[in-house]
Chains A and B, each alone.
Chain A
């Protein structure tokens, strides 16, 4: 049966809906194109990192080796890179052990977590469970302002206030240590403070999502707000709370401007929280704006460090996904 002879009830293709369908397909292509941009960007970054990191270890980029036939020659061994305890690619006697800068990043991250996780969680609990409407309506925007401050401003806050006014006098009074322009603890504090809003707002969203029926069930049993917060709301919101912690830690790992200005540029492994250290990001800043020529081993070290950083934040994201799935099963 052909539609020319029998138009039917008007529900076949071409029954005046061509224009609508074309519009629909066009919209789909535009939306898909935008989604693809993010995927391509990620792949491109990953590729550039790998390609350049290869030249750090083997003297030639993968693309140079393939298209120009340049040979691979061992420059830096993995053993030196991953186990060396001195990081000084630009020095007259260069050293390529990533441990000091990796230590710097990890120390800042862990220290910042000790600031942001307790304060952020407590703030979230207060806003979600305790605060009256009027207090909440003031606190939440304040936290958003805190989250919106450019990181460079935090950096100057650290260098102009936290380090000289807070950390310096305490170190002097308690330990007799003279704190310089930069210190590890100042970096921990400033990165911790900047990630508080991340922990508190995401945790608070998770707590708000806990159904009121659960709260009422507990209140009706004679639970106090404190009981309800700790034994009902927090366990029910735990996957979101963990997600906030991991996002805050990822942010701390990748944090650059504030930590560079707060903790300094001296790569060393130290237990003294008042000494200057260098994070991986701080190294990358100093290298990218330094005098080393593009393509030299010193310069290419940038990409090796970047790749390690990328792997660290990627694994945090994977951990986040894993925890989310696990706890969602348990608490839905």
Chain B
């Protein structure tokens, strides 16, 4: 495979950073998800420490940092998937469109219908491709049509590859296709925000670059918040970057270009230049 045709070549990070001419960068930032004083504990271990962040709408926000710094935990706070973990305990506020999602009157089921999630390992259901895509609509009791399936699969850049095998199992697809199927599944109910937890880390470089291209398109309609271990990926695809460091601390949050070219915190500079982490 000649990798020079892909955007994953080894050029220096700074030249890959999204330029400010980009149309998206000119949009005014409307906050869609914000946290105030967010602390998360697993039993007595603190995973996130007093996180304040405002994540803009229709942009890609990357969360980077070393293993165990709480990036994924942060992501799971937004759609309250931490509720599934018995030991997790959340304090502070996570505000989605003006409403604290940890308020007593919030139904996490309703919240998750507005905020989709794509996981690290592709996890299609052992069902047909069609049933995978329509699952989110079906649990909402909505009628589903072939158009819904086509729209979601086109949105996930998978339609042309699977349009003749919609009734075959989603598990028969390759890893990269499975992950795009999971993205189609997430966008089919038309959420506002899509959370992605290292969505390319289990994929080969070609499949990963397809997902990256796809994220670039998704952000036209959705807000994308992506956890990644791959700093080049964060630099390539994100508008905003949040750097978490060990101890669950949000060290710096700024435009991606600023983070990678001129970080204000020396620990961030050390991290992105590979001095630790």
Contact = CB atoms under 8 A, between A and B. Distances in A.
Interface of A: 133, 211, 213-224, 227, 231-232, 235-236, 330-332
Contact of A235 (B113, B126, B136, B185): B126
Given A216-B84, A330-B169, A332-B171, A222 B189 contact: yes
A222 B81 contact: no
A332 B182 CA distance: 17
Contact of B112 (A211, A213, A214, A221): A221
B123 interface: yes
Contact of B110 (A211, A213, A222, A231): A222
A220 B126 contact: no
B41 interface: no
A133 B86 CA distance: 9
A216 B189 contact: no
A94 to B, nearest CB: 56
B126 A236 contact: yes
Interface of B: 79, 81, 84, 86, 109-113, 116-117, 119, 121, 123-127, 135-136, 138-140, 169, 171, 182, 185-186, 189, 195
A217 B139 contact: no
A218 B189 CA distance: 13
User: When A and B form their complex, which 5 residue pairs have the shortest distance between CB atoms, in order from nearest?
Assistant: A222-B113, A220-B117, A221-B136, A213-B123, A222-B112
Contacts of A217: 119, 123-125, 182, 185
Contact of A220 (B81, B124, B127, B138): B81
B123 A214 contact: yes
A221 B139 contact: yes
Output the residue of B117, B135, B138 with the most chain A CB within 10 A.
Answer: B135
A231 B135 CA distance: 9
25 contacts: A211-B123, A213-B121, A214-B123, A215-B84, A216-B84, A217-B123, A217-B182, A217-B185, A218-B125, A218-B139, A219-B112, A220-B117, A220-B186, A221-B112, A221-B113, A221-B116, A221-B185, A222-B109, A222-B113, A222-B140, A223-B109, A223-B135, A231-B139, A330-B126, A330-B169
B188 to A, nearest CB: 9
Contact of B79 (A213, A220, A231, A232): A220
Given A213-B121, A235-B126, A330-B169, A218 B84 contact: no
B182 to A, nearest CB: 7
Contacts of B121: 213
A105 B126 CA distance: 37
Given A214-B123, A220-B79, A235-B125, 15 more contacts: A211-B123, A216-B84, A217-B119, A217-B123, A219-B84, A220-B81, A220-B195, A221-B112, A221-B113, A221-B116, A222-B139, A222-B189, A236-B126, A330-B126, A330-B169
A227 B86 CA distance: 20
Contacts of A215: 84
A219 B124 CA distance: 13
Contacts of B138: 231
Contacts of A214: 123, 125-126
Contacts of A227: 139
Nearest to A236: B126
A221 B189 contact: yes
B86 A222 contact: no
A211 B126 CA distance: 11
A213 to B, nearest CB: 4
A214 B126 CA distance: 9
Given A133-B86, A213-B119, A220 B139 contact: no
A215 B85 CA distance: 12
Contact of A224 (B109, B125, B126): B109
Contact of A222 (B84, B126, B136, B182): B136
B169 A235 contact: no
Contacts of B116: 220-221
B169 to A, nearest CB: 7
A214 B127 CA distance: 11
Contacts of B84: 215-216, 219
Contacts of A221: 112-113, 116, 135-136, 139, 185-186, 189
